[in-house]
């Protein structure tokens, strides 16, 4: 389904008061969406450990995390610059730095380009150029592919736009090996199929905001039953990929146990959401429970990926 919305005119910034230096600095930091960056970096380090079959080196990890943070920060900043017109319309985003008047559009745009340039040069000179080009691809995929093209035009925006969020695993693997292999693409698919079950419950919680802003997130244009069914489908595909990694990534019994147990636990959460959608009279949807469980699930899977090479040596 393709739904096209016209981009709204940019409302006036909501505040004209002067902000002190600390508030402005915090505003620029907020442009990078630090909490999202934390989640992205959770997938990077374990992938690097798996690629090295052990500790890849503290400096390499630090250099990759710095470059990855700058790249993700740039993409998120461009996202906030472009979405400033709809951010001011939604309660969840109205206090962001640009609609709140803390950071100017010009300042944010320059900041985004500086972060992007820094990340590419940093990766190229201190890690390798394969990681640099992958970082550039991630920025373009999120800032252009998702934010400018998909987000306001299709209910499948988060599915294909989520590709950018999968790039850290490829960046992490290439940082260690200078190339790519089958295992990182399996991890790429894990994150790819995880993104809708992670983001759609959040969209269900705030679908009035998205509808007001004219963003056709799936929960806005489809019933809760349809969304719940799609969450289950993506969850099944995600778990299948985590199990495929057992063979393709040569994982030990430890990862296998965690992947099976965590998969069963998260599947139960997705099933409960679907059942509540089918029978709303039984209680509220509790979509945010699935959202928070998805974060725990991904963290457990990648923690198992990180620990597996070390545990495999002990047994």
137-176: buried (b, 16+ CB within 10 Å) or exposed (e) per residue? bbbebbbebbbbebbbebbbbbbbbbbbbbbbbbbbbbbb
Query: Would you write out the chain's pLDDT as a tens digit for each of its 315 residues?
Result: 434 344 544 444 445 578 988 999 999 999 999 988 888 788 999 999 999 999 999 999 999 999 999 999 999 999 999 999 999 999 889 999 999 999 999 999 999 999 999 999 999 999 999 999 999 999 999 999 999 999 999 999 999 888 999 999 999 999 999 999 999 999 999 999 999 999 999 999 999 999 999 999 999 999 999 999 999 999 999 999 999 999 999 999 999 999 999 999 999 999 999 999 999 887 778 899 999 999 999 999 999 999 999 999 888
Q: How far apart are the first and last CA of the chain?
A: 51
The Cα 272–Cα 291 span in angstroms is 13
**All domains of the chain, ordered by start, with CATH?**
22-154 (1.10.357.140), 181-315 (1.20.120.1780)
Nearest to 226, CA basis, from 202, 207, 200, 263: 200
Question: Are 209 and 165 spatial neighbours (Cβ–Cβ below 8 Å)?
Answer: no
């Amino acid at each position: 389904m393709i739904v096209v919305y016209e981009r709204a005119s940019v409302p006036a910034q909501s505040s004209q008061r002067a902000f002190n230096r600390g508030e402005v600095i915090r505003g620029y930091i907020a442009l990078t969406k630090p909490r999202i960056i934390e989640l992205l970096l959770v997938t990077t380090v374990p992938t690097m450990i798996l690629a090295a079959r052990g500790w890849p080196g503290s400096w390499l990890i630090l250099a990759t995390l710095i470059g990855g943070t700058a790249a993700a920060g740039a993409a998120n900043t461009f996202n906030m610059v472009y979405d400033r017109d709809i951010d001011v319309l939604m309660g969840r985003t109205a206090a962001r730095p640009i609609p709140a008047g803390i950071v100017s559009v010009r300042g944010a745009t320059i900041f985004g380009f500086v972060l992007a340039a820094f990340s590419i040069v940093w990766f190229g000179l201190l890690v390798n150029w394969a990681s640099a080009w992958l970082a550039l691809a991630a920025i373009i995929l999120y800032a252009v592919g998702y934010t400018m093209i998909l987000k306001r035009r299709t209910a499948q925006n988060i599915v294909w736009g989520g590709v950018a969020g999968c790039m850290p695993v490829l960046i992490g693997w290439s940082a260690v090996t200078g190339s790519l292999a089958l295992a990182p693409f399996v991890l790429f698919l894990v994150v790819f199929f995880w993104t809708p079950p992670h983001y759609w419950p959040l969209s269900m919680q705030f679908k009035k905001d998205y509808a007001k802003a004219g963003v056709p997130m799936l929960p806005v244009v489809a019933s809760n039953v349809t969304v719940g069914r799609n969450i289950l489908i993506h969850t099944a595909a995600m778990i299948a990929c985590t199990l495929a990694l057992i063979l393709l990534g040569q994982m030990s019994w430890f990862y296998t146990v965690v992947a099976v147990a965590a998969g069963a636990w998260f599947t139960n959460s997705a099933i409960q959401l679907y059942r509540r959608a089918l029978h709303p009279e039984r209680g509220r949807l509790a979509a945010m429970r699935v959202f928070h469980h998805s974060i725990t699930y991904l963290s457990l899977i990648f923690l198992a990926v990180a620990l597996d090479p070390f545990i495999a040596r002990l047994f």
